[in-house]
Structures are given as C-alpha cells and as structure tokens.
Chains A and B, each alone.
Chain A
Amino acid sequence: MPERNVCIIAGGMSKWGVREASIIDMAQEAAKECFDDIPALKRKDIDGLLFASSYCGRRSFQVNIAPVVAERIGIKPTSMCTRVDTLCAGGSSGIILATGLIKSGIADVVMIAGGEKLYTPQRWETYYSELASIDHDWDGAQGMGLPPPYFSMTAQEHMKRYGTTKEQLWAVSVKNRRNGSTNPKGHFQKAVTIEEVMASRVIVPPLSLYDCCPITDGCAAVILTYAEKARELTDRPLVYIRGSAQAALHSMSINWPGEHLADWLHMRTAAKRAYEMGRVGPEDIDVAMTHDCFTISEIVEMEELGFCKKGEGGPFVESGQSDFGGKVPVNTDGGLLSCGHPFGATGIRQAREILQQLQGRAIRQVEGAEIGLTHNLSGLNVEHTILIYGREP
C-alpha cells in the first residue's frame, strides 16, 4: 500500500465555559457539531476514536473513557478506541497519533475528541486537583500545581532580560479577547480595552486577571482520514497534516532544559522538527494557534517559533505583527485567553480553527491562508507539541 496523505475533514465544539453538563454530555455536543460539519460522512464510517482527557479519571471518576464516549455518540470503533493524556496537548497528541494510524493503514477514518469537566460541585476540588497536573511527589508537594506563580517567574525573567513591558503583555490579551468576541463557542464573547485590563485585579505579580486563561469546561472533536477518502466525503478544499513534533526534555522543574525561564529550548526543538517534516519555515506560516495560557506565553512563543528574534516578542505583539494585517495572525478564534482551556480539547479546538481558516470559512478569516500551525505547551512547561497543516500535502 503506498503511503497515504492524511487530511482533517471536519471539526466541532461543545459550548465552552462554566457548564451545567457532564463530560459525556459535552462530548456528544462536540461530536454532533463535527458530524453536522460533514453531512456525507455517517457514524458507521468512523473506525477509530481517540479521546483526549487528563482529568476524567479524577474529576469525572471515569478512566477508560473512550468506549463510554463511543457508545454515547453512537460509533463502533474497530481499529482503535483509546484515551490520550498529554494534559494541555492531549488533543494535539491525538491528532498526531491518528495521522500515524491512518498513514500506516491501521485505521481509515478516525475521530479525535477530547475535553474536561473541570468544575466540580465544590470549588476546593477544582483547584486542589490541579496539584496532580505536575510531577506529584516533588513539584506537586511543593504546591506548584496552579500555573500562575510559575508563569509569573517566566514573565519576570522576560521583562528583566529583554525589557518586555506590562503593556506588551496586555496587548496579547486585548487582541485575543477581541478575536474571541465573535466566537460563539468560546468561554468569553466580550472584548476588553487596555484600560479594563490595566485595572483588573492582580493574580500573581506581574500577572493580572486578563493575563491568565480561565478554568473552563468543554469538549471538541475533529475527523481525520486519507486524501482519497476525504475527496469522497467533501467538496471543500483538502487540508493536510504536513508535519508534527512533540518534545519532552524534562518533568521536574529542577531539570528545566533552557538557559533561563524565558528560554524554551524544548519548544525550539519541537518547532525545528515540525518545520522540517512540514517542509516549511516560520516565514511560510499564514495563521498560527499558539498556547496563550498566559499573555507572556504567547510572547515567548512568537520568538521560539521564529516569527521574530529572541527577546523581541514584546514589540512584535505590541506593533500588531501577530494580529490581522500583521506578519502572522495568531489565535484568530480567541485562543485560550478567550475560549478557555479544557485541557484535552484545546489542541482539537485549534485544529478546527485551522481547518476553517485553510478552507476559507473561518469567522475571522485570514485572507488566502494556505499554511497553518498549532502549538501547545503542557503542564508547568514540560512538553511542547506542534502541528503544521497545509492546503498541499
């Protein structure tokens, strides 16, 4: 069998936010929108399901959730049916794994779904559970599970070393909240002004409320198949998975791989490999969805992806280079700052937006976008995952 090219052909999301719904309810909502997105595809055409969720075991008391989701949404996988956990990058891991399964012929049509029900009936459990998201016996027991303190040190490092300003951090928030204001599926639909951001309450200096993504419930789903099958199912332009990489160089904070906290060697490592596999460079990316868990994250990511020089992420975002009309529009659907971040669903949400961008049907369309990129960081910055999508294989 000749090697197959793999395409993403449909995407859907549940409503994201503080939801009066279970993870299984939201998985059904996401799958419904995904099926509605490609009417020629029937449930029986799906032979594989990968479900990305990190917290279903702890917050929904459900491990091996994939067969539960398959049954509830009405599919009967015969090639693969399993859960994937890479915390914040679980959805992207699912897409990379499904690409390999389809390329090799192990699977033909795979749904990658994922998400989290993060809000528990009592709020203490919502926050306390975060302590499980990092190296438990070492960093977790030091009380480091909630990310704002750690990323505040990253922000301090970047500000002291490169002169990055709070105004530059806030520019990310204003842009992404504006992009998200027209996305009905995200957590927030409200743009914010720089004055509102400036006046918001401090979370951990120098990070304020609008510098941090919220805690969010939600699910998302996409479908992947090989190009010939995709052509049978849709008249829309095909969107190919061109390259990917996932780099994990450490787990515990003491083994941080960079020179300092604003030096993300593992991200550069992943970017280099993904660009090589995708046969593109940073200058070729028309639209990017990067992991803006905090405003400072998006600034560092612009640098490590090669969109600007190291240390120039602040001026890059402040001057509109990551906005519409700039060098590369970033987080066109609102990103994590506006959509929220139900961990396993985030990479899938990003893929859905890139699919719509490259097919010319996004809510906020980047004109003529042909090559897109998605990026996630996991946990306290221990893993980086990058995917490259394109209109050509």
Chain B
Amino acid sequence: MPVPGIPILEGKYPSTMDLYPLEAKEFNRVHQFYENLRQKRFTTTKCKKCGHVPFPPRVVCPECNSEDLEWVDLPTRGKVLRFTEEVAGVPLGFDSPLIHALIDLGDGRKFVSRIINCKEGELKEGDEVQLAVFDVPPMIIEKKGVMTEAERVFFAFEPSKAEVK
C-alpha cells in the first residue's frame, strides 16, 4: 500500500539510496569502465609504467603510484566454482531467485558475481557463464537548476548460450 513517504522528497533523487554507482563522468573518474560495458567489454586499468592490472579499475596505480594508466580487456567468460541461490528475503531491487557465483575468470582472478537469466536449480558447478550487460535507472544530475538524466548500465554474468568455437 502506498504511504505518504517524505513529502518534501517527492520527485527528488536521493543518491545516497541509489543501489548502483554514480557512474556519470561528473561524479566518477572510472566512468570509462561503464562506457566500455556499454560496448559489452569488461575492462580495467593497466599501469603503463609497471604493468600492474588491478581490479576494480583505479585512477592511480597502487603498485608504483603512476597515473599513466590504460584500459585493457578482461575475460568475459568464466567457470562456476561455487554458487548460492537465495529464494526468500531478497533485498529490494533484486528478483528472486537471487543467484551469486564464485567464477574462475581463467586469468588468475576469481570473481563473485550475480547470475541472471537463470532459473532456480538450473546452474551447476563447472558451468560456463558469460558477461551480461543491462540498463539500470538513470542517475539525475542538477545543472544550473535543470535536471538531466544520465543513462546507466550495469553488469552480471549469465549462463553461456553457446560455446565459443
């Protein structure tokens, strides 16, 4: 049942309640990660000076302190090592079943990600999953009193539809 809420906040965008990152370049120096996601690329920053490739992406190399970084691609497919399916008690903003998996990306990284487009009981250990990019609600940015909408995408993984030959 709808309730009055907080009348003075009606029609406002409370960013402190936003589930997704403030991705727009006005608020985020790694906004290129999300631009790349839009192109179905899963990327991070590589240090041009020492070669370090951390994830998540950085604005300064945590190994050598250099700011000379470039965007590089990470694997977009991985293998499920462990997974978990939450059916009841899923938080607002997510659908049941909320599935998470520990994925071996094959580059030495093990990534814990949400698995979407997958029914309860469908996933198995050893399954291959692939990057899935989807639209999420825009963030609102006020510029000289005018409200603009900054479109956003986010990512999860999904069961691979076809093996790569």
Contacts and interface: CB of A to CB of B under 8 A. Distances in A.
A130 B21 contact: no
Given A143-B114, A205-B85, A137 B21 contact: yes
B55 A149 contact: no
A25 interface: no
Nearest to A140: B19
B84 A142 contact: no
Contacts of B86: 146, 148-149, 203-204
A1 interface: no
Contacts of B11: none
B82 A157 contact: yes
Contacts of A137: 21, 56
Interface string B64-79: 0000000000000000
Contact of B114 (A142, A152, A255, A261): A142
A143 B84 CA distance: 12
Contacts of B154: 141
B19 A153 contact: no
Contacts of B85: 204-205
A288 to B, nearest CB: 28
B134 to A, nearest CB: 12
Given A128-B93, A130-B91, A256-B110, A141 B82 contact: no
B150 to A, nearest CB: 15
A269 interface: no
Contacts of A144: 100, 112, 114
B111 interface: yes
A289 to B, nearest CB: 27
**Interface hub of B19, B100, B112 (most chain A Cβ within 10 A):** B112
B24 to A, nearest CB: 13
A61 to B, nearest CB: 11
B156 interface: yes
A77 interface: no
A253 interface: yes
A131 B84 contact: no
A254 B111 CA distance: 5
Contact of A149 (B100, B110, B111): B100
B83 A141 contact: no
Nearest to B3: A122
Contacts of B82: 153, 156-157, 261
Contacts, number: 83
Given A128-B91, A128-B92, A141 B21 contact: yes
Interface string A132-162: 0000111111111110111011001100000
Given A149-B100, A252-B56, A143 B83 contact: no
Contact of B84 (A124, A153, A254): A153
Interface residues of A, number: 33
A142 B113 CA distance: 6
A207 to B, nearest CB: 9
A127 B92 contact: yes
B7 interface: no
B112 A150 contact: yes
A145 B90 CA distance: 10
A153 B113 CA distance: 13
B112 A141 contact: no
Given A124-B92, A143-B91, A254-B112, A150 B84 contact: yes
A58 B83 CA distance: 30
B135 to A, nearest CB: 14
Contacts of B92: 124, 127-128
A253 to B, nearest CB: 4
Contacts of A145: 91
A254 B84 CA distance: 16
A124 to B, nearest CB: 5
**Interface hub of A127, A141, A252 (most chain B Cβ within 10 A):** A141
Interface string A237-256: 00000000000000011111
Nearest to B23: A137
Interface string B98-134: 1010100000011111100000000000000000000
Interface of B: 16-17, 19-21, 55-56, 82-86, 88-94, 98, 100, 102, 109-114, 154, 156
Nearest 5 interchain pairs by C-beta: A137-B21, A253-B112, A149-B84, A143-B94, A153-B82
Given A127-B92, A203-B89, 5 more contacts: A128-B17, A137-B21, A143-B90, A144-B112, A253-B111
9 contacts: A58-B16, A143-B90, A143-B98, A143-B114, A149-B100, A156-B84, A157-B82, A204-B85, A261-B82
